[in-house]
Amino acid sequence: MTRGRRRILTGALVVLGLGVAVLAWKLPPAAQLAVDTSAKWACQCRYIDGGDDSFCVAEDPLGFGGTDFRFDPDEQRVTTSIWGLVDATGRYEPGSGCMVR
Amino acid sequence: MRVLLALLVVLWAGPALALTPLPPQPEGVKWPTNEWSMAAPAKDVETGLLDALLDVVFSGEGPVPGTRALLIVHRGVLVTERYAPGFDADRRFLSQSVAKTVLGALAGVAVREGKVALDAPAPVAAWRDDADPRRAITVRNLLQMTDGLDFNEAYFNPLTSDVLPMLFGNQRHDMAAYAASRPPAETPGTRWAYSSGTANLLSGILRDAVGGTRESYLAFMKAGLFDPIGMASAEPEFDASGTFVGSSWLHATARDWARFGLLMLRGGVWDGRQVLPAGWVDFMRTPQAGGVYGAMTWVNPGKRLSTMPADTFIASGHRGQVIAMVPSKDLVIVRFGRTGYGDYDALYNVLGETMTAFPDVAKVRINP
């Protein structure tokens, strides 16, 4: 490998590494915010307004296909997750509303 | 010369400052505390136009898709009530920012009860330092959203938004405290800037003023507003600190939202009782600098919403939640749904055109 190619490869690796670092820094909080938002929204829709599961999934303001919704009507809660990496649970508490823990 | 100048000032400012009187409940029409009076539109309503516009509003492929409920109250009577398939009179609808107008009404109750002073410095613990410029912010500034706090209302960039972390993120547990922590950007009272943070800051002040807990706040809301007007389905949401999320989260049936609209149209009077202080609704619907907002309420003096009468005042929420009050027509229109971001103008245009089907109060008085 010539010196020029080696420099280009090194530069590309540095840029890639920086990109991965930025993603690792920014993505988890953004993903957590996304599942928190979806959990709040779905809980409101399902347990306060009375929508059914499929309707409330379709109401998700993020419209992000990778979010998984699990409704537990007995406990009046919904858990949202993205690819199993981050999750959030919204639970309806009478008198308070939907609290995301 | 001075007289001429004064006359010119009056002529110029008069129409902008004058508020259309709020119409009283017509004689013989019962207040809908328990049940709504329901009837077909009166003979002087252009029902052909109204029906055609309602079809447009509910057309899934029309200019404003996503309407789920539309109610019209004319002269205190529920003359139109339509729901999209899957929705009905028992279904609650989320307020989004319509809640801000309810919060403004609640503030009126607190002011009347002496719990909050309109023109005193806002009682915010984080601003107690004499050197803090935010000490100059009054409750009036908060109601009119002229507090000057630096709060980014943008919803689309989680990296710069203040509203997303407040409502959904790591600041959601005490929204008022987060809003109070925002730095000053402008001198209070000099610039209007729409802010959900300001609404929740105001709500936190109300919480403290009525007992400091979620329970005391909920009791205040019920006793001061919901119970007197029969808004039985109202379900407010609170953050973990006990603050009603007055920026965004109040759920109620469409009929109950119409009750709130009628209360506003009647100047806070309900069945002989002054639920809101006299003059409070006028305060809420008086335009501030910029002319689009009063106090926790949108206004239309410059007819920015061109199809709506200039005296229309509006509780408006994200994705097209609307309660529009029109004093000159003795009219309340309630619309809940899910409108696309690009369809807001079309929605307001159609709602404004719907208003044209109803006669002006003044014309009725001249030619009954």
Q: Summarize pLDDT for B121-155 with one digit per residue, the tens.
A: 999 999 999 999 999 999 999 999 999 999 999 98
Give the pLDDT confidence of B343-368 residue by residue, as tens digits: 899 999 999 999 999 999 976 544 33
| B226 CB-near residues (< 8 Å, 6+ apart) | B232, B234
Which sequence spans correspond to the domains of chain B?
22-97+232-368, 116-209
Shortest CA gap B2–chain A (Å): 58
* pTM score of the predicted model: 0.91
Q: What is the DSSP string of B160-202?
A: T-SHHHHHTSTTGGGHHHHHHTSPB-S-TTS-----HHHHHHH
What was the pLDDT predicted at B34? 98
| B298 CB-near residues (< 8 Å, 6+ apart) | B292, B313, B314, B315, B316
Length of chain A: 101
Q: Residues B188, B289: contact at Cβ < 8 Å?
A: no
pLDDT over 90 (residue B61): no
Shortest CA gap A59–chain B (Å): 9
Alpha carbon distance B285, B275 (integer Å): 17
Residues of chain B with C-beta less than 8 angstroms from the C-beta of A49 = 91-94, 251
- Residue A25's pLDDT band, with cuts at 50, 70 and 90, is low
Per CATH, domain B22-97+232-368 is 3.40.710.10: yes
Alpha carbon distance B155, B162 (integer Å): 8
Residue of A nearest to B319 (CA): A61
Shortest CA gap B235–chain A (Å): 8
Percentage, residues of chain B above pLDDT 70: 94
- Residue A61's pLDDT band, with cuts at 50, 70 and 90, is confident
B168·A37 Cβ contact <8 A = yes
Expressed in angstroms, the distance from the first to the final Cα of chain B is 43
Interface confidence (ipTM) of the complex: 0.90
Average of pLDDT values for A79-83? Answer: 95
A95·B240 Cβ contact <8 A = no
On the 0-12 / 13-18 / 19+ scale of CB atoms within 10 A, A11 is exposed
Q: Residues B319, B327: contact at Cβ < 8 Å?
A: no
Alpha carbon distance B340, B179 (integer Å): 28
B92·A26 Cβ contact <8 A = no
User: Alpha carbon of B99 to those of B41, B128, B316, B322: distances in Å?
Assistant: 29, 29, 8, 11
Alpha carbon distance A26, B258 (integer Å): 44
In the sheet that A77-82 helps form, which strands lie side by side, from edge to edge? A67-72, A77-82, A86-93, A97-100
Interface probe for B, chosen from A23, A33, A86, A92 (most Cβ of B below 10 Å), is: A33
Q: Does A44 contact B at CB distance below 8 Å? A: yes
